[in-house]
Structure 1
Amino acid sequence: MPRFAANLSMLFTEVDFMDRFAAAADAGFSGVEYLFPYDFAAGDIKIELDNNKLEQVLFNLPAGDWAKGERGIACHPDRVEEFRAGVDTAIAYAKVLGNSQINCLAGIRPQGYDCATVEQTFVDNLKFAAEKLADAGIKLVMEMINTRDIPGFYLNTTAQALAIRDKVGSSNLYLQYDIYHMQIMEGDLARTVSGNLAVINHVQLADNPGRNEPGTGEINYRFMFEHLDRIGYQGWIGCEYKPATTTAAGLGWMKAHNAI
């Protein structure tokens, strides 16, 4: 049976961030993820994890100025030093929080650089991060994101991610497969996951259209959950969706699946 992690950047936003850990545990989650921990002391987050018996599953490397629309800096040739400093920051947090994987957001393709330079920057930064994280016992994942929600996002298909992974050449680099994003960009979800299971270390979900909870759109999540079990996926599934109404009201899909 899949293990579901509450994404605290999108779920339980009815309460302050530090109160979302207790809310997630009360709702039946045993793991949590979120965009970034860096606005809070790692020790304070660790207290919430421990008090609520939650596992820290995932967070992202520092990704630039999120409030100003930046969505990662890993492919930006003029931000390499900032990216690499962020890797050290993320490792320091993970050592306290206990997560065994960290996600890298490629970012929106920067203007003023040719395609080869942007790609090489991304490859070199991934090599650096994969090696540093490996030394710390942490896996690096990279996420493909649809270009409708984030126009110009650099990494946006499974095929591109696999090609980048080959160029990086690290056994410590994996894919984060977001079902919602990939339904928009390419479809063929079940076969893609099956064919690339060995390099998929994390899965996320939301339905389409709307990016709301499973059961509100076109994706057959009951089939996908059973498929992930059938092919032997052992990782977490991050619930990174926008509740159609309230978080609690939108959790019927999880209760129904857990009752099967």
Structure 2
Amino acid sequence: MQRRDFTKNLMASAGLATLSAPLAMASETKTSANAPFKLKYAPHFGMFANSAGKDEIDQLKFMHEMGFRALEDNGMMGKSPELQTKIGETMAKLDMTMGVFVVGFDNWPLSTSLTSGDKGWRDKFLASCKGAVETAKRCNAKWMTVVPGNYDRRIPMGIQTSNVIESLRRGAEILEPHGLTMVLEPLSDTPDLFLRNSDQTFMICKAVNSPACKILFDMWHMQRNEGRMTQNMDWCWEEIAYFQIGDEPGRNEPTTGEVNYKNLFKHIAQKGYTGVLGMEHGNAFKGKEGEMKLIEAYRQSDI
């Protein structure tokens, strides 16, 4: 080969390499931006409606495209059986995991419900557990949220606790044969609520003594009610089956408040948790731009 031809070929190769490098970097950036998150964060319907539109199946596909591999939907039991089935089938195709839906059996949670020992409330709860089994089959769910309700101030605390335990045992008898788990959620919405702390919920789960009754550790509620989250997680770990997310104050995505979610996610992962972390919070910023900021906040906080 003549020197002139060799130089020409070398320059062409260098030009091709220079041209291809940005393309490769762009491809790598796109892949990285949409890669699956390390943990199973679960958005809910409506969280990305500005980007994906109002159709729930389109929203599911958008979530998957953005790297999310789970969904939670508190209102799943209120959807038609046809839509529940369609959601379940779509998630199966996308290899996504269904998170919690709520077992609603009264004007939840604004009543005395299970704490009173009233047979009417217990029967409503058990009927809803039976309905939850059918919903779970259609959407491939495993976990469902249960809230016992409010204090009944006419009854001693120990008696209320026993009433709750007995109802939950009966509910567990319905769910356990199907491999389903109700997750009890201590809440911070009002001091009238019966279930407020992780240690209290741990004790109740121990008393129910069933794999169908575990703890939903909502980190927003627990930050407000008790703090010391990694310590309380460790104490209650063997009964925790599900986590939910929300920064405080504001109950929006991580990085918008005072909670160090990067550290919490790392702690949860190091404990060996591979389940779902529900994104039960709002969007701190509006519109499509706000939705992209939310996704970026999870990229920053992911392990």
TM-score range, shorter chain: 0.7 to 0.9
Aligned pair 1:244/2:288, yes or no?
no
Cα separation, partners in 2 of 1:244 and 1:118, compared to 1, 3 Å: same
Match of 2:151 among 95, 106, 109: 109
Q: Which residue of 2 aligns with 1:154?
A: 194
- Mapping of residues 1-260 of structure 1, within 5 Å: 1-8=38-45, 11-12=47-48, 16=54, 18=56, 20-51=59-90, 53=94, 54-65=96-107, 70=110, 73-78=113-118, 79-110=121-152, 112-146=154-188, 149-246=189-286, 248=291, 249-258=293-302
Q: Report the Cα offset of residue 23 of structure 1.
A: 4.0
User: 2:103, 2:132 within 8 Å by CA — same for their partners in 1?
Assistant: yes
Q: 1:111 to 1:27 in 2, by over 3 A?
A: farther
Greater per-residue helix proportion: 2
Offset at residue 181 of structure 1 (A): 0.7
Tell me how large the CA RMSD over aligned residues is. Answer: 2.4
- Give the residue type in structure 1 aligned to 2:230: A
TM-score by length of 2: 0.76
C-alpha spacing 1:85/1:30, structure 2 compared with 1 (3 Å): same
CA deviations on 1:60-97 (whole Å, 9 max, x unpaired) are: 2124235xx73784434331111111110111100111
Relative to structure 1, the CA distance from residue 222 to residue 72 in structure 2 (aligned partners, 3 Å threshold; closer, same or farther) is farther
Query: Residue 208 of structure 1: CA displacement?
Result: 0.6
Shift of 1:36: 2.2
Change (3 A) 1:76 1:24: farther
Return the index of the structure with the highest Cα Rg. 2
State the shift of 1:16 in Å. 4.2
Q: Distance in 1 between matches of 2:136 and 2:284?
A: 31
Q: Deviations over 1:201-225 (max 9, x none)?
A: 1011100111111001111111111
Paired residue secondary structure (2:76): coil
Q: In 1, distance between residues paired with 2:200 and 2:174? A: 23
Shift of 1:42: 2.7
Q: Deviations over 1:148-206 (max 9, x none)?
A: x2331110001111221232233432111011111111111112212322211101110
Work out the CA distance in 1 between the residues paired with 2:267 and 2:73.
25
The aligned length equals 254
Tell whether the 8 Å contact from 1:109 to 1:153 is kept in structure 2 after alignment: yes
Label 1:73 to 1:98 Cα distance change in 2 as closer, same or farther (>3 A).
Answer: farther
Gaps of 5+ in 2: 1-37
In structure 1, stretches of 5+ residues that fail to align are none
Higher relative contact order (CA 8 A, sep 6+): 1
